Structure 1
Amino acid sequence: MHLSNEDEEYSLSLSKFESMLKTNKILFFDSEEFEDIILHYLDTGKATLAKKALKLALEQHPRSTGLKLVHVEMLIYDDKLDQAEKLLNELFALEPHNEEIYIQKANILSKRDKHEEAVEQLRIALRYTEDFADVYNLMGMEYLFMDNLELAKENFIKCLEEDPEDQAALYNVVYCFEFLDQNQEAIDYLEKYIDKNPYSEIAWHQMGRLHYGLKQYEQALRAFDYATLIDEEFLGAFMEKGKALERLKRYDEAIESYNRTIEIDDPTSYALLRIGKCYEKLGKKPLALKYYNKTVHEDPLLDKGWIAITDFYVREKNFQKALFYVNKALNIDNSNRLYWKRYAVINKEMNFFEEAELGYRKAVELGDYQLDTWLFWVDILQFLGEFDNAIQTLLQAAEYFPEEYEIEYRLAGIYFMLREDAKGKFHLSNALRLNFNNHKLLKDLFPVAWERKIVRNMIDKYKSEH
């Protein structure tokens, strides 16, 4: 790789400084060299080395404003805000037109959550700076802290007008558009940006993401294509391209795209899972299974992998194999409600009702409050003759679904079977009011209750009155 003169000088300064530390010989550096060395150590998280460099720098250049400003930056980094402020005030008296003083003042105010005042300091910095992009970017960040996404967006856009290659600002602009639900406006903005910067793979990738979010899969694919042509190692763009191709049912091409991500970097469980899904859609079941197995091998904690294998066998009606895999999943994570629900469904299909009841119970305990989970659980409790538990479960479900006819018909049926007719009448009346057209549900689930005269009379009376 060819280094520019600046890069070479910078590397030499760094080597020279580090060899000085090893030999304890004091060598001379100019103040700018010291600034670069200190900021390098700060950026790489080597605070101790940065402090050593600063101490030597100030001994050699006690009057350097640049080094004193680096000192301020380090004090802010260490949360010594009062000391930083005191030093800044001294520098301000000497150089009131130095934009870096206002930027660091803003930095201190920001740390103190005084974001409005920080913006005011940055506005002053704009009068004196030559690096407008940096100041606009900092203003954008302050507005983000204040949750003022419109003004944040405006400043990030100004930053990009000054420095179109600021990728962080580009991501932040798109973030603001998305947060404000302005996806189409974001696309319009990116189109103009791309007209001026056609080789920005980040812009093409973001454009693809936005089109994908709007279900415009052809346009998304076109954008991801450009991103991957510009940067052939752009893993994220290949991943998103695969997703768009899947949506367009172009499964062979989607597999190619996911495979490309595996060539670029180590295989991810997500890519392996998607390849498996594509093979299953193509009817290549052995290959699908192979990739599902690779998925759980790569990441045993990824529930989507275990679910894919389990669901595959459920679709094949191979419940024995499905049960084997869902049990393996539960051995790894027995507090996953998605596993327990599948455990319940599979056991129900195999007529293991007690195991199925356990599965539904655990799923609900772990936060699966979907209506069908409650209803399947209740129907199994009823089948097992656990009527009191079934009633308690239905009453609990009614708290989540207060106007649900399927719950009311079941409560009515169980109460009539138990000869608790007053409660049965109450719930049947609710059920008929909520959905009379489905009243035959009572006949299907509770044929004995359906034949009772009190039930027939209530239904006939309701029908005649409505």
Structure 2
Amino acid sequence: MSNKNLLSGKDKALAELVERYETSRDQHISIYMDAEDLADIAEWYDRNSKFDNAAEVIAYGLELHPGNTSLLVERSYLHLDLYELEDAKQAAAEITEERPDVTILRARLLVEEGRMQDAELQLDTLEDKYSKENIIDVAYMYLGAYQYDQATEWLSHWRWDKEDTEYCCIMADSLLDRKNYSEAQIYYNKLIDNNPYHPQYWMGVARCHLGLLEYGKAIDACDYALLANDELGEAYVIKGYCFLELGNDKEAVKCYEEAVKYNSISPAYLYSIMGQIQIDKQEWEKAYQQFELALQQEEELKDPITRSSIYSGMAICLQKLDKETYEGQALDFCLKAINLDNFNIDAHLLGGLLYAQYGEKERAIGLWEEIGNYDNTASTWSDVAAYSSKADLFDYAIQALEHLKEGKPDYPDLYQRLTLTCILGGKLEKAQYYNQYSWSPMERKYIEELYKDIAEAPDGQSAQIIKKYLTETSVHKKA
């Protein structure tokens, strides 16, 4: 519950308004509420990720005030926050009144469709286009659509007092969204100096610390936010994530359970987190069971990335469990995960391995190439090399490691891995070449003997001779 005594002015009035609505709802008391008040309550719920509550109060409000513009505007923004663009457009189409917030909403819908010029033309119709209020609302509209340059450009149309609360809010949120965490903190701290118990300012600070990997400080900032509102679900979500990063699974789960209690995340999301925790512990059966529970409530998960991680997690579990009864299902899960999130690295890596094991080498390499193009980082190419080596596609593994060498020649154990992979791939000269750059080169005689043993090994057994070197990155040292 919000600690209203710690809130100031407008925030305190809104907290009291929300409490009045919830009391009447819970006690089944019929009361009349103004449409603008109900719209404010809906916006508060939406801002605090209580989407079901927001939808409920909007529906209630439209029963009392059919066709009300403010409520329809909130309904449209709620659909946008839930990735439901068509529903957002439908809600906006029901609006007949012309006013600035409606114009800005229509512009936002055009931005979501990628029609940036049309959005600006829509904004040109605003009366007193560059009034302070319009500038603030349009800047936040662009921030909500991740169009940071446009937000900054609109801010330039007003001569701001750098200590102005509204200016500090926009700058803080903009810098945070751009991942300029240290700069964002400066503005959030200014806001906190003027209003020490504003929960959203502390949440901004928490996100900054999170971005800087300062997990303990992020937890502290969340605790300050919870002093003002102990039902702030997003604070529990961030705390849960931080505790996971700090290796404290028990506290993490407690926080996520609180987030479920206050409707910031669904039970399905909690199950997915539990599954990931079990994967980290290599408890594959338990992890799979958690993912199954999450999948049973998949419709509650609006975020495609989370849904994708559930499918890739299930694929990993099946592959580790090596259950014959699920042959082919792990690959199906990988492909579903990729369909939901093209940037799911785990799904691409494992999917490629499974394709290779089924003899479809071109498809395997296609998946690895795809994720390498999406995420051209050293760690991704290192993983691609490891998976392609596991699939006995050593020529491609060499290519992946050489790609890694071009971008990060000092990557740990790179030349040892290149040496050993070249031996496995039957490329003796290349192995000897890369060996000389290794931090601990093998003797030439040893390389030749190892190469000979590999060449003479029965099919399917050659990799076993030195595969441990590829996974443990330990090599034979000079005597």
Point out the more displaced range, 202-211 or 398-407.
398-407
Evaluate the alpha carbon distance shift between residue 75 and residue 278 of structure 1 in structure 2; reply closer, same or farther with a 3 A threshold: closer
Q: Tell me whether 184-193 or 211-220 shows the greater mean CA deviation.
A: 184-193
Show the counterpart of 2:203.
205
Tell me how many residue pairs correspond in the alignment: 342
Question: SS at the partner of 2:197?
Answer: coil
Supply the distance in 2 between the matched residues of 1:142 and 1:375 (Cα, whole angstroms): 42
Question: What is the match of residue 298 of structure 1?
Answer: 297
Residue in structure 1 matched with residue 273 of structure 2 by the alignment: 274
> Is the 8 Å Cα contact of residues 215 and 242 (structure 2) preserved in structure 1?
yes
Tell me the residue number matched to 1:446.
451
CA distance in 2 between counterparts of 1:8 and 1:135 reads 27
What does 1:41-440 align with in structure 2 at a 5 Å threshold? 43=73, 51=96, 70=98, 111-112=120-121, 125=131, 132-138=132-138, 147=149, 172-178=170-176, 182-265=180-263, 267-278=266-277, 290-299=289-298, 302-309=307-314, 311=316, 319-321=321-323, 327-334=328-335, 336=338, 338-339=346-347, 341-342=349-350, 356=357, 358=359, 362-367=363-368, 368-369=371-372, 370-371=381-382, 373-374=384-385, 377=388, 381=392, 391=395, 394=398, 398=402, 401=405, 405=415, 406-407=417-418, 410-411=421-422, 425=429, 427=430, 430-435=433-438, 437-439=440-442
Which letter does structure 1 place at the counterpart of 2:290?
Y
The 8 Å contact of residues 364 and 373 in structure 1, kept in 2 or not, is answered as no
TM-score where L is the length of structure 2: 0.52
RMSD: 5.5
Cα distance change on mapping 1:226 and 1:110 into 2, 3 Å:
same
Distance, in Å, in 1 between the alignment partners of 2:36 and 2:281 is: 55
TM-superposed deviation, 1:185: 3.1
1:182 shift after superposition = 3.6
**Per-residue deviation at 1:366?**
0.8
Report the CA distance shift for 1:149/1:448 in structure 2 as closer, same or farther (over 3 A). Answer: same
Letter in 2 for 1:338: D
Deviations 1:118-139 (A, max 9, x none): 9xx766x4xxxxxx45545546
Output the CA distance in 2 between the equivalents of 1:223 and 1:399: 42
SS at match of 2:290: helix
Separation in 1 of the partners of 2:240 and 2:267? 14
The 8 Å contact of residues 251 and 282 in structure 1, kept in 2 or not, is answered as no
Measured after TM superposition, the shift of residue 239 of structure 1 is 1.2
Preserved contact between residue 104 and residue 138 of structure 2 (Cα < 8 Å): no
5+ long unaligned stretches in structure 2: 1-19, 25-30, 38-65, 76-89, 108-116, 339-344, 373-380, 457-479
Q: Which has the higher contact order (CA 8 A, sep 6+)?
A: 2
In 2, distance between residues paired with 1:222 and 1:202?
14
Q: Specify the code of the residue in structure 1 equivalent to 2:452.
A: P
CA distance in structure 2 between the aligned counterparts of 1:75 and 1:149, rounded to whole angstroms = 16
Residues in 2 aligned to 1:76 and 1:273: alpha-carbon distance in whole angstroms:
37
What are structure 1's unaligned runs of at least 5 residues? Answer: 12-35, 55-69, 80-107, 126-131, 348-353, 382-388, 417-423, 452-466
CA deviation after TM superposition for structure 1 residue 184, in Å: 2.2
Contact 1:133 1:158 (C-alpha < 8 Å) held by counterparts: no
* Percent identical residues: 14
Question: What is the Cα deviation at residue 178 of structure 1?
Answer: 2.9
* Cα separation, partners in 2 of 1:201 and 1:360, compared to 1, 3 Å: farther
Structure label with greater radius of gyration: 1
Q: State the alpha-carbon separation in 2 of the partners of residues 400 and 325 from structure 1.
A: 35
Contact kept in structure 2, 1:137 and 1:155, CA below 8 Å: no
How many Å apart are 1:194 and its aligned residue?
2.0
Q: CA deviation at 1:222?
A: 1.7
Q: In structure 2, do the counterparts of structure 1 residues 152 and 290 end up closer, same or farther at CA, with 3 Å as the change threshold? A: same
Give the helix-richer structure, 1 or 2: 1
**TM-fit CA distance, 1:244:** 1.5
Question: CA, structure 1 residues 242+218, in 2 after alignment: closer, same or farther (shift >3 Å)?
Answer: same
CA distance in 2, matches of 1:397, 1:282: 29
Within a 5 Å distance, the mapping from 1:26-45 to structure 2 comes to: 39-40=69-70, 43=73
TM-score, normalised with respect to structure 1: 0.53
